[in-house]
A and B are shown apart, each in its own frame.
Chain A
Amino acid sequence: MPLLDIKNLTVEIDTGSEFVKALDKVSLTVEKGEIRALVGESGSGKSLIVSAVIGAVPDHWIITADRLTWKGQNLLAMSNEQRRIIMRREIAVVFQDPTSSLDPSATLRAQLEESIPEELLDKGMFWKRNKQRREIAIGLMHKVGIKNHEACMQRYPHEIATDIAQKFMIAMALVSEPELLIADDSTRSMESTTKNQILRLLSGLNETKNLSILFISHDLLAISSIAHTMTVLYCGQTVESGKVQDLHNRPLHPYTKALLDSAPSFQINLPPKSHLVSLQGTIPTLKHLPIGCRLGPRCPNARKECVKVPEQRMLHHHSYSCHFPLHLPIDEQLEKDQ
């Protein structure tokens, strides 16, 4: 049984005049001990999935799903208290913008010590508790690679650099020893040495503690170095998902292919200053969503069939949603349809 199982999750957002499907039948699973990457451009609804999972969406938005379960328990039917207990101990989230999601009015020490659950302190006398908390906090800071903890812990969130804040958020998330860590764009705005450090930390935790990670990013290099499986999201629709290797070696959806080709690091033989592969146009805004397959207007292979939403199809644990996948020649497909 997968840890987190999302099947056909649809989130409808109130834009004032009408409801818009910001997420349209998104499916995603995270198995025990797996690092699943979620790739998508900004505005594709990555963070919305996180909000839907942790329950941080306004009440008047409509959330429907065939399945939204955590270890078999339906998250949507749960009371707020039950859900909060799961969020407190089993799922941890590292939010996108670390400096603004920390409490600006408290020092980092206060915030980290507050987040240590009571159960982790051994049942000593009450005056020993504070010392224990401090030791756990310092241990965590070292674990995520913040060396001078003293200087860092007395500061307020606005006084520290973004990459340190990011590491600190990871420390805070790890304090309750969760089973699933949701890392929302954790390596953004980091230079490559710090990024490597964070990636090593995450994959190390995955190996030693069997921690499952949902790694949300658009940095394909980082993803291909740590993730096992990946799901590509475009404009609120799941486009393709499968093993990272399979997707890299044989992308079936035109969007995945364009995304992979757009990174110059993946192409060794690319001469310097030559053109990069890119799709025309940009991701549509929520108010102007195309019907059917949302990649339609930008897709190089689009045909008139593309105004219908493509079904999700499977090919050796590799699922894709496209009428004209890249492994089949287009003419053959048309003949088959006729």
Chain B
Amino acid sequence: MIPVLEVKNLVYTHRVKRSIFKPIDEFILGPINFALNAGETLAITGHNSSGKTLLAKSLVGAITPQQGSILLEGKEAKQSDKKTRNHDIRLILQHSKYSLNPAITVGSILNRTLRLNAELNEKDRKTKIEQTLVKVGLLREHYYFYRHMLSDGQQQRVSLARAMILDPKVIVADEPFAALDPSVRSQTVNLILDIQQELGMAFVFISQNLGIVRHISDKVMIMDKGKVIEAGSSQAVFNDPQHELTKKLIDSHFSLVNKHFEHFEQF
């Protein structure tokens, strides 16, 4: 089986020159290699400023990596080939509040996405938008709503709708649950699981919440300072972490869980 998304030797170097007297600040991301099959979820986790968001950005083409290639279904997706890049890999950002245009309705946000990336006429676009809204658990009427009229969870649904309206092969989600409350978060988790099962999309999912990572991912990749320090199937990594830092991360999460169950047994 050819993987949907394959990343080979991706390297991105970020250089900032603050002053002529100081050395240049450098952040090197990569080299990163992974392959993802349809219907699978890859979770990327790690400390703050370990390059997770940079990786997400370079996957969707928001920044240009210096080296390496991104293969979509075995064919190389060039940076210049915006058409397939925009169509097949879609991004969900952490704060949908800030990533939706406040001045236009939900309908026009989705309509723009379609107009720019798909060849449909006006009527088809409208039916497609309505179908997608229903699919993410909103109503048809939400077409005429503005961003501020929706709650946090509904905004997150709109960004999910914007990501999946083009029937992409891969969705990249950068901390999609971090800003949500527990009850809305589990709704969104359920929704994403359903959609993945139904449409067989591949998911790249960045999060620090190891409880959710373990729950929804098939593969995990742990990053530190721009390098991948451990990768593998979630079960293997969570049961038997190899790298020092991974052990620390996982132990600290499970020590909290264990404490909770100690409480439980005292009763």
Least CB separation from B248: chain A residue: A193
- B80 contacts which chain A residues (CB < 8 A)? none
Q: Are A224 and B260 in contact (CB under 8 A)?
A: yes
The residues of B that contact A246 with a CB separation of less than 8 Å are 267
A277-B186 in contact (CB<8A)? yes
Indicate if B48 sits at the interface (CB-CB under 8 A).
yes
Are A41 and B208 interface neighbours, CB within 8 A?
no
Residues 48-84 of B, flagged 1 when their CB comes within 8 A of A and 0 if not, give 1100000000000000000000000000000000000
Which of A41, A161, A222, A282 has the most chain B CB atoms inside 10 A of its CB? A282
Does B152 reach chain A (CB closer than 8 Å)? yes
Contact status of A262 and B154, CB under 8 A, knowing A218-B181, A225-B259: no
B181 in contact with A41 (CB, 8 Å): yes
With the chains together, A70 CA to B263 CA distance in Å?
Answer: 31
Answer whether residue A259 sits at the interface, using C-beta atoms and an 8 A cutoff: yes
A294 to chain B, nearest CB (A): 14
CA–CA, A162 to B259, complex, Å? 27
- Contact present for A262 and B182 (CB under 8 Å): yes
Chain B interface, DSSP helix/strand/loop, else mixed: helix
For residue A191, CB closer than 8 A to chain B, the reply is yes
Contact assessment for A225 and B49 in the assembled complex, using a CB-CB cutoff below 8 Å? no
Is A314 in the interface zone, CB < 8 Å from B? no
Instruction: Give the contacts of A269-288 with B (CB-CB under 8 A).
Output: 270, 272-273, 275-279, 282-283, 285
Cβ of A101 within 8 Å of any chain B Cβ, yes or no, is no
Judged by a CB distance under 8 angstroms, whether B126 is at the interface is: no
Interface-facing stretch out of B19-27, B100-108, B116-124, B211-219: B211-219
Residues of A within 8 A of B187 (CB): 278
Instruction: Evaluate contact between B182 and A220: CB separation under 8 angstroms.
Output: yes
Give min CB distance, B77 to chain A, whole Å: 28
Within 8 A of B (CB), among A183-236: 189-193, 195-196, 199, 218, 220-222, 224-225
In whole angstroms, how far apart are the Cα atoms of A163 and B47 in the complex? 11
Contact A262 B183 (CB under 8 A): yes
Is B189 in contact with chain A by the CB < 8 A criterion? yes
Given contacts A193-B248, A265-B257, A283-B151, contact A161 B49 (CB under 8 A): yes
A-B contact count (CB 8 A): 115
Does B185 sit within 8 A of A, measured CB to CB? yes
Chain A residue at smallest Cβ distance from B260:
A224
Contacting B at CB under 8 A, from A60-107, are none
One digit per residue, 1 when the CB lies within 8 angstroms of any chain A CB and 0 when it does not, for chain B 238-267 equals 000000000011001101110111011011
CB-CB < 8 A to B266: which residues of A? 245
Q: Kindly identify which residue among A163, A193, A224, A275 contacts B190, using a CB–CB cutoff of 8 Å.
A: A275
B234 on interface, CB distance cutoff 8 Å: yes
Report A17 CB to chain B, min CB distance, Å: 18
Which residues of B in the span 152-170 have a Cβ within 8 Å of any Cβ on A?
152-154
Contact A273 B151 (CB under 8 A): no
Answer whether residue B134 sits at the interface, using C-beta atoms and an 8 A cutoff.
Answer: no
Residue B210 lies at the interface, judged by CB distance under 8 Å to chain A = yes
B184 interface residue per 8 A CB criterion: yes
* B2 at interface by CB-CB < 8 Å: no
Q: A191-B47, A196-B252 are in contact. Are A273 and B263 (CB under 8 A)?
A: no
Which of A162, A220, A225 is the most central at the interface, judged by chain B CB atoms within 10 Å of its CB? Answer: A225
A318 close to B (CB within 8 Å): no
**Contact present for B214 and A264 (CB under 8 Å):** yes
Given A245-B267, A264-B212, are A189 and B178 also a contact pair (CB < 8 Å)? yes
B193 contacts A by Cβ under 8 Å? yes
**Contact A273-B208, Cβ < 8 Å, known A248-B264, A282-B153:** no
Q: Contacts A264-B212, A272-B214, A273-B216 given: A191-B249 contact, CB under 8 Å?
A: yes
Chain A residues contacting B185 (CB-CB under 8 Å) are: 262
Contact B257 A221 (CB under 8 A): yes
Residues of A within 8 A of B256 (CB): 192, 196, 199, 221-222, 224-225, 265
Q: In the complex, what residues of B have CB within 8 A of residue A270's CB?
A: 215
In the docked arrangement, what's the CA distance between A221 and B210, Å? 11
A15 within 8 A of B: no
B181 with A266: CB separation less than 8 A: no
- Listed by A's residue number, 5 A-B pairs whose Cβ atoms lie within 8 Å are A42-B181, A189-B178, A196-B256, A221-B260, A265-B253
- Write the residues of chain B forming the contact surface with A, with a CB cutoff of 8 angstroms: 46-49, 151-154, 178, 181-187, 189-190, 193, 208, 210-212, 214-216, 234, 248-249, 252-253, 255-257, 259-261, 263-264, 266-267
A-B pairs with the 9 shortest C-beta distances? A265-B211, A41-B181, A278-B186, A276-B186, A262-B186, A264-B215, A224-B260, A196-B252, A225-B259
A residues with a Cβ closer than 8 A to B are: 41-42, 161-163, 189-193, 195-196, 199, 218, 220-222, 224-225, 244-246, 248-249, 258-259, 262-266, 268, 270, 272-273, 275-279, 282-283, 285
Given contacts A191-B48, A262-B185, A276-B190, 10 further A-B contacts (CB under 8 A): A161-B49, A190-B48, A218-B181, A225-B260, A246-B267, A249-B267, A264-B215, A265-B210, A265-B256, A282-B154
